[in-house]
Structure 1
Amino acid sequence: MSSQVIDDLYFSASALKTYDTCQLKFKRRYIDGLFWPDDWIKDKEKRKLQEQGNLFHMLAERYYFRGKIVDSKDIISEEMITWLERLTNFRPYNKQDQFLPEHKLQLNNGDLKLMAKYDLLHFSEAGRVVIYDWKTHATNSKVNYLKRSLQTVVYRYLLCKAGGDYAPEGSWQPKDITLVYWNPRFPDDEKVLFYNQERYLRDERKIKRMISDIKQVSFRADDDVLATSEEKNCLYCEYRPICHGEPALEIEPKEEDLDLTEDWDDIEAISF
């Protein structure tokens, strides 16, 4: 049963990162299907930060879908109004280009199955595409961390591999793709990551190697997989009550984990 689940699984950046962090956590989440409820954060301040991030993503989606801000200022906070003003100044909508907010993409290429949901894809008249990813954490992400992150690896590679329907010539060259991380708390500090053929090939090898490694693991029982050796990962893990019978110190999900409850059946598969 576990091998069939793995064969059918479309790997996201979050799934690959979870496996890289702890094989047992990967089993709990993706094999056993133990998704934590939406109210898993108990700390009021951390819950507020999560809700702010979710709201900003929703309002940004509406802006690029409709081409204008339509939400009444009477029902959103002053801080959120400021964030939206910064967003429209940073990446203003225009009718000449194509904007696809909260766009889902899936690749089915034999043993290589990938999926991602992009906060925004911006296709310009010049035949280039920019991936925008909104960050709302109170701390500003370091560019070196973002360069190495599996989110960066999967997002750029998947679009290059499976996003050809949106390319003027029917396929993208890595040099045509740029990934921009932006946080409305730090509006003047966007992180711009360009792409190239060498990076594309390295990303492909990395993704294929990770998926191959995962498929070599038997997930039939907890004893078949390796738990994390990093104490901090374990102490703060939402599955600590199952593994150790002890509550986690405080569960604080990463931003890339906030889309775990999506209905993946809505994603259009692209086969090669």
Structure 2
Amino acid sequence: MNTAPEHGGNMLPDDFQFTQSNLQDYLTCPRRFDLRYRQRLQWPAVQTAPVQESERRMKLGSDFHYLAHQHALGMPLPALTALAENDPSPELGAMWRSYLAHRPTELSAAGVRLFPEVTLATVLNGWRLAAKFDLLAAQPDGRVLIVDWKTNLRRPRSDRLRARAQSRVYPLVLAKAGESLLGQPVPADAITLVYWFTAAPADPEIIPYGAAQLAADESFLADLIARIAAADTFPLTDDDRPCRFCAFRSFCERGDVAGPLDEFEDDFAFDDFDLDWEQVSEIEF
């Protein structure tokens, strides 16, 4: 039996930054958070099977994000369409056509300011909390749209999307730190979070925000961050279903075989495959 301790032995480094991703890891399984972020354990296991299909989906998601990013920056539409339609994967062209037909109308409104792939950060309980946005769209009337592109195989359930850490972190960070980017305060009731799906382009998840939700999210996240920072034990989750899609499953003796990709996206992985954010500009509140 694996006798690795439940805790990493070291406190979080002073420069550790919380994100929706690592907070979600903790909520899913405290042990995963410990292994990934405190112990920084590199464990050679794939998350899903078949591996080649998983890698293909990862590249497809990355390519779509690139096209959407370049479009927001003002790259000519014909050039982007040619890239999509000439891609070896016909799915990218289909995704791009769906994007052009169904992307939020606010993105092309007169006077809108688009900020693709930008990071904002605030501080909760003395710890940095950062959000990496696919796109922020600032309307002339002060409203701000958070758009998150999702390239899942299927549209996730609304209740599960709204329960994700991302749905709390993104609007809160924008409300707290948006003035640094936009030059004016961003009231909570001016914020709307939109999850847009290539698998359901006409059915985005639209989540309005407000002062009451901001207060609730700030309390929840501040308490969560304080609990993580003070913890010296990180127990394994009692629910072993997510373990099928966790790279540490064999380390924790929760199985050796990766779960199937279609179930992975349905049940536990609503976030797109990780993209390379190392070069993304950052603005801190």
In the superposition, the TM-score normalised over structure 1's length comes to: 0.85
Q: Which moved more, 1:66-75 or 1:249-258?
A: 249-258
Q: Whole-Å Cα distance in 2 between the matches of residues 245 and 137 of structure 1?
A: 25
Q: Give the aligned partner of residue 134 of structure 1.
A: 149
Q: Whole-Å Cα distance in 2 between the matches of residues 262 and 139 of structure 1?
A: 25
Shift in Å at residue 108 of structure 1? 3.7
SS at match of 1:2: coil
Q: Give the aligned partner of residue 91 of structure 2.
A: 79
Q: Give the aligned partner of residue 15 of structure 2.
A: 8
- Asked if 1:46 corresponds to 2:51, the answer is no
Change (3 A) 1:27 1:15: same
Q: Give the aligned partner of residue 209 of structure 1.
A: 223
Q: Which moved more, 1:127-136 or 1:26-35?
A: 26-35
CA RMSD of the aligned region, Å? 2.7
Q: Whole-Å Cα distance in 2 between the matches of residues 186 and 115 of structure 1?
A: 28
Shift in Å at residue 50 of structure 1? 2.5
Shift in Å at residue 75 of structure 1? 3.1
**Mapping of 1:7-46 within 5 angstroms?**
7-34=14-41, 41-43=48-50, 44-46=52-54
Deviations 1:64-101 (A, max 9, x none): 11243323332354332232222233235467321111
Q: Identity over aligned residues, as a percent?
A: 26
Q: Give the aligned partner of residue 101 of structure 1.
A: 116
Q: Whole-Å Cα distance in 1 between the matches of residues 180 and 45 of structure 2?
A: 35
Does structure 2 retain, via aligned residues, the 8 Å contact 1:14–1:257?
no
Q: Give the aligned partner of residue 238 of structure 2.
A: 229
In the superposition, the TM-score normalised over structure 2's length comes to: 0.81
Q: Whole-Å Cα distance in 2 between the matches of residues 189 and 27 of structure 1?
A: 36
Q: Whole-Å Cα distance in 2 between the matches of residues 164 and 123 of structure 1?
A: 11
Q: Give the aligned partner of residue 221 of structure 1.
A: none
Q: Whole-Å Cα distance in 2 between the matches of residues 201 and 144 of structure 1?
A: 20
Q: Whole-Å Cα distance in 2 between the matches of residues 194 and 14 of structure 1?
A: 21
Q: Give the aligned partner of residue 122 of structure 1.
A: 137
Q: Which moved more, 1:203-212 or 1:43-52?
A: 43-52
Change (3 A) 1:40 1:141: closer
Shift in Å at residue 132 of structure 1? 0.5
- Asked if 1:58 corresponds to 2:58, the answer is no
Does structure 1 retain, via aligned residues, the 8 Å contact 2:62–2:275?
no
Gaps of 5+ in 2: 1-8
SS at match of 1:99: strand
Does structure 1 retain, via aligned residues, the 8 Å contact 2:190–2:209?
yes
- Give the number of aligned pairs: 263
Q: Whole-Å Cα distance in 2 between the matches of residues 160 and 189 of structure 1?
A: 25
The one-letter amino acid of 2:87's match is I
SS at match of 2:246: coil
The one-letter amino acid of 2:69's match is E
Q: Whole-Å Cα distance in 1 between the matches of residues 46 and 143 of structure 2?
A: 40
Q: Which moved more, 1:199-208 or 1:32-41?
A: 32-41
Q: Give the aligned partner of residue 5 of structure 2.
A: none
Shift in Å at residue 211 of structure 1? 0.4
Gaps of 5+ in 1: 219-223
SS at match of 2:11: helix
Q: Whole-Å Cα distance in 1 between the matches of residues 231 and 120 of structure 2?
A: 27
Does structure 2 retain, via aligned residues, the 8 Å contact 1:67–1:93?
no
Q: Whole-Å Cα distance in 2 between the matches of residues 156 and 137 of structure 1?
A: 22
Deviations 1:120-157 (A, max 9, x none): 11111121110001111122122222222211100000
